[in-house]
Amino acid sequence: MLLQVNNLSKHFGDFVAVDDLSFSVKEGEVYGFLGQNGAGKSTTIRMLLSLIKPTQGEINIFGFSIDKHREKILERVGAVVERPDLYRYLTGYENLNIFAKLSGKKISKQDVMRCLGVVGLDKRAHDHVRVYSQGMKQRLGIAVALVHDPSLIILDEPTNGLDPQGIADIRNLILKLSREQNKTVLVSSHLLSEIEQVADSMLIINKGKKVVEGNVRELLNPEVVQLEIIATSNEQAMEAIATSAWAGGLKVSAARHIVLETSASSVPELTKYLVEHNIGVLSLRAVNSLEAYFLSLTSGNEV
């Protein structure tokens, strides 16, 4: 494990921002850190970077405690926390060169240009940052995090405020860093769809607490779905389902809709079953079980 967090908490007075959080990140993986806005993601990241001190708990990176080996660890970490701070009236190259010198490492002009090439800004290296799009600024911020060749990269909501093309660019960059540069990347987001497309493993937190952690493919198993059913008569549909093989999957029965957990492969058979019982199906919508659960957290409504 490259990063291990044990029983981490952060209190601001009576407010508990992070509550007894534990998780681990394997070397070489993209690790998704998922939660709605205000869930405690940025507070956790600030503790990982030693920007704020935990109320309690342990953080170990590269096998060392962040408390005892702060400088040794941070030499090998690159990060963008929320939006990057850049010098708007300097060029992209000049910005990156300043941060390269601040790193304390010997980084040549060729290394700076190579880093700009990694994030796709080498052809705009000598343009002023003030004329960059938001997506370009975000990529330059990631270049700042990369310029000293870190082993661990931490990106806090890197797609915030970007248009669809900008989001796609950042997504492709994260995959490139992992697959071609062999970097370990921890990326936070409040969008399940973004984490699903880039991460190998992920953690979901809500109100500072861990909700679920695991392999993305296993957690987002497409074979298990939550069906939202709206019929001409939900009452009749419920009676039919209650006496069928699907009875054990019933989650919610309401006047407006029925929620049923089942396998994706059984959906055609269920539809046929309802029709054969003279029940008109007005709407049938399937979502992954974890997606439905995450939506319930972000909307504040339980499925």
Phi and psi torsions of 157, nearest 5°: 50, 60
Domain-embedded: residue 248: yes
pLDDT-derived band at 73 (thresholds 50, 70, 90) equals very high
Do 96 and 143 touch, CB atoms closer than 8 A? yes
Q: What is the mean pLDDT of the chain?
A: 89
Q: Provide the whole-model pTM.
A: 0.79
Mapping DSSP onto H, E and C, the string for 146-206 reads HCCCCCEEEEECCCCCCCHHHHHHHHHHHHHHHHCCCCEEEEEECCHHHHHHHCCEEEEEE
Identify the domain boundary among 213, 246, 265.
213
Give the model's pLDDT for residue 159: 87
The enclosing domain of 73 has a CATH number of 3.40.50.300
For residue 128, give the DSSP letter: B
Residue 296, pLDDT above cutoff 70: no
**Nearest-angstrom CA–CA distance, 230 and 233:** 8
- Residue 239: CB partners within 8 Å, gap ≥ 6? none
Residues 106, 205, single domain; the answer is yes
Give the model's pLDDT for residue 302: 42
Do 123 and 99 touch, CB atoms closer than 8 A? no
Paired tokens of 115: 């880093």
Identify the domain boundary among 161, 189, 213.
213
Q: How many folded domains does the chain comprise? A: 2
- pLDDT digit string, tens, across residues 122-180: 999 999 999 999 889 999 999 999 999 999 999 999 888 888 888 898 899 999 999 98
**Residue range(s) defining the domain that contains residue 110:** 3-213
Residues 271, 169, single domain; the answer is no
Residue 303, pLDDT above cutoff 50: no
Domain-embedded: residue 251: yes
Residues 75, 183, single domain; the answer is yes
pLDDT-derived band at 77 (thresholds 50, 70, 90) equals very high
Mean pLDDT within 95-123: 92
Give the model's pLDDT for residue 297: 64
Residue 220, pLDDT above cutoff 90: no
Percent of the chain with pLDDT over 90: 56
247-255 contacts: CB < 8 A, separation 24 or more? 251/226, 251/303, 252/303
- Residue 196: CB partners within 8 Å, gap ≥ 6? 32, 216, 220
